[in-house]
Structure 1
Amino acid sequence: MVLKEQKKNSKISQEEGKIIVSDYLKKEFRPYSATDLVLNLHSRISKSNMTKILEELVEDKEICVKSYGKNSFYFYKAISFDSNYKTECEAKRDMNKLLKEESEILENELTEVNKSLCLHISKFFIQ
């Protein structure tokens, strides 16, 4: 009984709380409200502390929030695209196009070499 009371009364620092909540959201990979998170973490973090932690994580852009009326749901941000994403995609498309053109040129050269080889072989056997 004493252990349970000590666990409930033990305080978790803000940084430890951020790590716990972030890891939990990443592991579960689904949206939760602040109340759900408090319950799922077995009240290791108080609701007021949870709200502060969630706001900090949203500010740090580690998690996202979606509000529906008075309810807010927090979820782990799976994919983050940086500002260079579009330029990188365009550069890769251009590189892909160049490689396809080069591949076609090399295939044409290969067919020409095969044709000339066949001609030389046929001349050798005909003589």
Structure 2
Amino acid sequence: MMPPKKQKLQNGLPSRTNQEDQTQTTELLTYLKSKYRPYSLTDIQLNLHGKFKKTQLTTILESLLSEKEVIVKTIGKTNYYCYKEIIASDNASIDELNDKIKKTEEELSGFVAKVCEITQKPTLTNEMLKRTIEETQQKAQTLRDQVAIAEQKSKNESGSETTMNYVSNLIKLKEKQQKIVCYLPK
């Protein structure tokens, strides 16, 4: 049996004709494009959870460098690889983004105005609500007392018309008092 053939070199790098090499290259390229930040060789290997050996990564990255899909920055002895600069395809997309920014800023200013409006309105505190309840209860008690006094006077006095009107008015007040509802916001 003959030993396997050596790979042909293109620009000093092994050619990538193998389908598996192509899928690995595209996987690495999509990873670098999605993160869009510089990574060292070991960082890439760790982030991809050991899918690639260091030698594989080196050859793939070198081939991507030759195709100008990736850029490299050398700091000391370490190379940092990053996807090439992403450039907007046309001015229309930039204009769309600027329009979105303006709309978002307008919405934000509307929300800020609403917040200012809400914070400037006086709100009822628990103490104020308690005071209002106490005042309402005192008024109700006063009305009950007036009705009781009127009932006693009507029993003591015999059928005077003014007393009857007074009593009927107090009874009406008592009915209104029973209809009083104290509204408490939640």
Which structure's CA Rg is the greater one? 2
Counterpart in the other structure of 2:61? 54
Aligned partners of 2:58, 2:25: CA distance in 1, in Å? 11
Counterpart in the other structure of 1:38? 45
Aligned partners of 1:13, 1:46: CA distance in 2, in Å? 14
Counterpart in the other structure of 1:27? 34
Query: For the aligned residues, what is the CA RMSD?
Result: 1.5
Corresponding letter in the other structure for 1:46: K
Percent identity over paired residues: 42
Counterpart in the other structure of 2:80? 73
How much does 1:63 deviate? Answer: 0.6
Higher helix share: 1
How much does 1:79 deviate? Answer: 4.1
Counterpart in the other structure of 1:16? 23
Corresponding letter in the other structure for 2:84: K
Q: So what's the TM-score if we normalise by structure 2? A: 0.35
Aligned partners of 2:48, 2:83: CA distance in 1, in Å? 16
Aligned partners of 1:15, 1:34: CA distance in 2, in Å? 19
Counterpart in the other structure of 2:156? none
| 1:56-79: CA deviation from partner (whole Å, max 9, x where unpaired) | 000000010000111000001124
- Secondary structure at the residue paired with 1:13? helix
Aligned partners of 2:41, 2:83: CA distance in 1, in Å? 13
How much does 1:38 deviate? Answer: 0.6
Among 38, 42, 64, the residue aligned to 2:71: 64
Instruction: Name structure 2 gaps, 5 residues minimum.
Output: 1-18, 88-186
Counterpart in the other structure of 1:106? none
Aligned partners of 1:70, 1:14: CA distance in 2, in Å? 27
Corresponding letter in the other structure for 1:22: L
Q: How many residues align?
A: 69
